[in-house]
Chain A
Amino acid sequence: MADVTLAIRDVEQSYGKVHALRGVNLDIPQGTTVALLGPSGCGKSTLLRVLAGLEAPDQGTIRLGEEDLTRIPPERRGVGMVFQDFALFPHLSVAQNVAFGLVEQGWSRSDRDARVGELLSLMSLEGLADRRPHALSGGQQQRVALARALAPRPSLLLLDEPLSNLDRNLRDELTVELSTLLSDLSLRALHVTHDQREAFALADQVAIMREGRILQVAPAERLHAAPHDAWVASFLGLREIVPESVARELGFAGPVLLRVERFKPNPEGAPFTVRGLTWVEHDLEYQLRTPAWPFDIRYRIRPRELPSPPPGIGDVLHLEVPDDAWTLLEVRA
């Protein structure tokens, strides 16, 4: 299994008139975790089902190194999957759930018991081996689901929003746990989510998906530094996007992302008139306008960095706008 890449090429899938996947391309090298991030209905769960073999794509191929997986049924793919609702077998105990795939692979009883024990301790589930799934908490069920998927040593682990059914605190806790686990095991994993924090916390690479296509694949910091287009930027919550028409007036070739956080108060800087201000936690958020630009910006700052007293509505705040505050976004064809 040395350094083989899972290659997804031009995968298309439609249900009647709905095109869920419109030519998906993605590489997942051994040992990397890719988060598939996108709004609901963008096709990410469909892609996962296609990778697991639960659905055959209309077009395209899925290869693992030299091997073509596209038409191989799910049970012979060696893919592990954690389902959104965990899909634990209600008629089996925790240990039997974890051992399910090992039985299919024909492991001997003693090997099976050893492996199950290993995983239960890895997941801190010791003592729950004989419980039924419905007697477990949400977080415990999630761990059993993960243990069950990992037990047969899959060549690819698929995670379908595995944390979305849990409450916020538990989710944060398990995100950290899962992140450590994935990097320790050096697995090849694809993690579907619509939660950015989860995606950035867990993955080496984040793939942004929209309407059946993957728009950009990059590590978290690259994604923030250079979003592919205005949609990706706004999806990532980068708010100050100057639309193309306005940006052209200012001399840019396409839409621009304005990095307001890089502005600095400076008496020599450009004058901005304060049109509104509110407290956001410990910061002040200003709504500002400068005569040169036909739009307002929102600027957040610690009060102690401001001149004293802080400017109020109608006052002028001077800010230095550095050159690297402008990022040109890709011009759409």
Chain B
Amino acid sequence: MSSRNPRAIAVSPAGIASLLALLFLVLLLGVPLAAVVLRGLEGASWDTLGSLVADPYLQDRLGRTLLQASLSTVLTVALGLPGALAFARYDFAGKRLLRALFTVPFVMPTVVAGAGFLALVGPGGWLGVDLIDSLALVLLAHVFYNHAVVVRMVGGFLEASAPRLRDAAATLGANPIRTALRVTIPLAAPALLAAASLVFIFSFTSFGVLLLLAPAGRWDTLEVEIYQSVARLLRLDTAALLALAQLFMAMLVGGLYTTLQRRVAVPLSGSVPLPRPRWQGRMVLMATLLPSAVLTLAPLGALVYRSLVPPGAEGVTWLGWQAAFAPSGLLGVISAGDALVNSLRFAVASGALALMSGVTFAYAVVRGGWRWLDRASLLPLATSSVTLGLGVLLAWPNLAGSFWGLAFAHALIGMPFVARAVLPSLRSVPPSRLAAATVAGAGPWRRLLRIDLPAMRTSLIAGGGFAVAVSLGEFGASLVLTRPDLATLPVAIYQRLGRPGMENYAAALVLALLLMMVTAAFMVLLDRLGGPGEL
């Protein structure tokens, strides 16, 4: 309504929100990405481009990354699909607990997962096998990290749609196997493909897992290669070109994902109570869900164990803890205390920024009628974090290494989660409620304060919580943009792992444990405040 009157745009909250959202996107995402593109294309004539495409090293890189991402996707689906089907089929004791457990890898920082797998099957690992630098370990970590995506996306979709349709198929003469073939699987196919394409992107742009678990570099992704070009080789041109290639690939698969995602969002009718499993059902449940549960718990358990009993130690020792909390600078690394404070400062600052920008976005989309911003708010998700860091570095060199530079980068990565959470609650406010408020004398600002903000309350908590969790675990952009005394916990973990000696190794695990506990405590707090958010 107000957008029709040009004078009203300037003063209405929707108009201001639209301008702010636009400004935020352009300055923090648009300009940096443009900088990457320009830098990438700058020196690149068709000749250099040709030689780069023909470069056997890069071909090898790309080939290995594609192989790794494909295998990761196949394995993740293979483990996640039975779990998803089981979730959609039965109601059983402990289902809520399992569902919560399966979200743990989702919110756990990659560095924690990496450290967990090191503690389990790294050098001196708990299980006594050393898989470091092997493809198997990379795949294992990616499956750990992503199978929850499949279980939740596919399982959630089927749980909402399948039970009644399964009943219908049964009354029409289809036995359970025929029902699976003719109803459940065709129904789940778009959701499954959407989940698989998401897993593929995650594995294709994987960063922390590879840096920690395959440090020799045999399975480095383009993302790692970009980082190495920036940090070690100081070749921003190559980095920008690689980033461009990766961006192109991610957009391709990302486009597939959003298209499929829209098909999955077909409105579904009310759910029906699911049956409890009889004994065969229980066996199936055990067989499908137990491996997932073990895979989720084992690395985290190993992390706790190895932080107290480092390899070679006789029993519980505080060696790692002492090393981790030694004052900063003494060993050329940051102390655990300082890293924790840094992490929390970034989390609070970027959480607040993400909250403000996310709400602004949602408000501009719903009340300002700027629909296209809806899709645009997803862009930061599609852009990998190292690329983002590189973009900020190129576009705003003065911000690099400053507190606010990294805080803004974290906020940009967290913003989509806030916008995603807030959008539906804002959309669910019926127009009649706004009309009622208007008739009662509330102008646009008062409506924002008294109608829209209360409606967003729960989703603000959920979205803001996710943004904070993202900031706590953020690794790629932090590594590119940080300065030694601003190192966060994930960066500190990586620093420690790069240094020789059992002390540093144990200290890294302690730091990872610390990060895991902070994240977990935070998620529990969030759950108390307002329930879990949905992606």
Interface residues of A (CB under 8 A from B): 49, 52-55, 73-81, 83, 85, 87-91, 100-101, 103-105, 134, 148-149, 152, 158
Contact = CB atoms under 8 A, between A and B. Distances in A.
Contact of B187 (A73, A76, A91, A134): A91
Contacts of A104: 172-174, 178
Given A85-B270, A91-B186, A149 B171 contact: yes
Contacts of A158: 171
A105 B167 contact: no
B172 A134 contact: no
B168 A75 contact: no
Contacts of B168: 81, 83, 87-89, 148
B269 A89 contact: no
Contacts of A103: 182
B427 interface: no
A159 B187 CA distance: 25
A83 B165 CA distance: 10
B187 A90 contact: yes
B174 A75 contact: yes
A81 B173 contact: no
Most buried by B among A53, A75, A76, A81: A75
A134 B266 contact: yes
Contacts of B173: 75-76, 78, 101, 104-105, 152
A55 B167 CA distance: 10
Nearest to A91: B186
A73 B186 CA distance: 23
A52 B187 CA distance: 23
A74 B173 CA distance: 7
Contacts of B169: 89, 100
Nearest to A148: B172
B182 A75 contact: no
Contacts of A81: 167-168, 171
Given A100-B169, A104-B174, 18 more contacts: A49-B167, A52-B170, A52-B171, A53-B171, A75-B172, A78-B173, A83-B168, A85-B164, A87-B165, A89-B183, A100-B172, A100-B182, A104-B173, A105-B173, A134-B266, A148-B168, A149-B171, A158-B171
Contacts of A152: 172-173
Contact of A87 (B164, B174, B267): B164
B175 interface: yes
A138 to B, nearest CB: 12
Nearest to B164: A87
18 contacts: A49-B167, A73-B175, A75-B174, A75-B178, A76-B173, A77-B171, A78-B173, A81-B171, A87-B164, A87-B167, A88-B168, A89-B165, A89-B183, A89-B187, A90-B187, A101-B172, A103-B182, A104-B173
B366 to A, nearest CB: 25
Contacts of A79: 171
A74 B170 contact: yes
* B170, B173, B182 pick with most chain A CB within 10 angstroms: B173
Nearest to B183: A89
A115 to B, nearest CB: 13
A81 B183 CA distance: 17
A158 B171 CA distance: 10
A80 B171 contact: yes
Contacts of B269: 85, 87
A149 B168 CA distance: 9
A101 B182 CA distance: 11
A148 B171 CA distance: 10
Interface string B161-193: 100110111111111001000110011000000
Contacts of A52: 167, 170-171
B375 to A, nearest CB: 23
A75 B170 contact: yes
A99 to B, nearest CB: 10
A176 B187 CA distance: 35
A148 B169 CA distance: 10
With a 10 A CB-CB cut-off, give which of B165, B171, B178, B187 has the most chain A CB atoms: B171
Tell me which of A54, A149, A158 has the highest count of chain B C-beta atoms within 10 A of its own C-beta.
A54
Nearest to B178: A104
Contact of A73 (B165, B170, B182, B266): B170
Contacts of A54: 167, 170-171
Contacts of B167: 49, 52, 54, 74, 81, 83, 87
A140 B83 CA distance: 36
B285 to A, nearest CB: 19
A90 to B, nearest CB: 6
Contacts of A76: 173
Nearest to B270: A85
A88 B169 CA distance: 10
B171 A90 contact: no
Residue with the greatest number of chain A CB neighbours at <10 A, chosen from B164, B170, B183: B170
A55 to B, nearest CB: 8
Contacts of B165: 87, 89
A54 B176 CA distance: 12
Interface string B267-286: 10110000100000000000
B175 A75 contact: yes
Interface string B248-265: 000000000000000000
B376 to A, nearest CB: 28
Nearest to B163: A87
Contacts of B186: 91
A101 B275 CA distance: 24
B233 to A, nearest CB: 51
A77 B267 CA distance: 31
B166 to A, nearest CB: 9
A112 B169 CA distance: 17
A77 B173 CA distance: 8
Nearest to A100: B172
A88 B172 CA distance: 12
A76 B167 CA distance: 13
A137 to B, nearest CB: 15
Interface in B356-412: none
Q: Which of B167, B270, B275 gathers most chain A CB within 10 Å?
A: B167
A64 to B, nearest CB: 15
A156 to B, nearest CB: 10
A80 B171 CA distance: 6
Contacts of B171: 52-54, 74-75, 77, 79-81, 149, 158
Contacts of B267: 134
B154 to A, nearest CB: 15
Contacts of A80: 171-172
Contacts of A75: 170-175, 178
Contacts of A134: 266-267
A24 B451 CA distance: 51
Contacts of A73: 170, 175
B274 to A, nearest CB: 12
A79 B167 CA distance: 12
A223 to B, nearest CB: 29
A77 B174 CA distance: 11
Contacts of B175: 73, 75
Nearest to A105: B173
Contacts of A88: 168
A317 B318 CA distance: 100
Nearest to A15: B273
A159 to B, nearest CB: 12
A105 to B, nearest CB: 6
A88 B164 CA distance: 9
Which of A53, A91, A148 has the most CB atoms of chain B within a 10 A radius of its CB?
Answer: A91
Nearest to B179: A75
Nearest to A104: B173
A91 B269 CA distance: 15
A77 B270 CA distance: 26
A83 B166 CA distance: 12
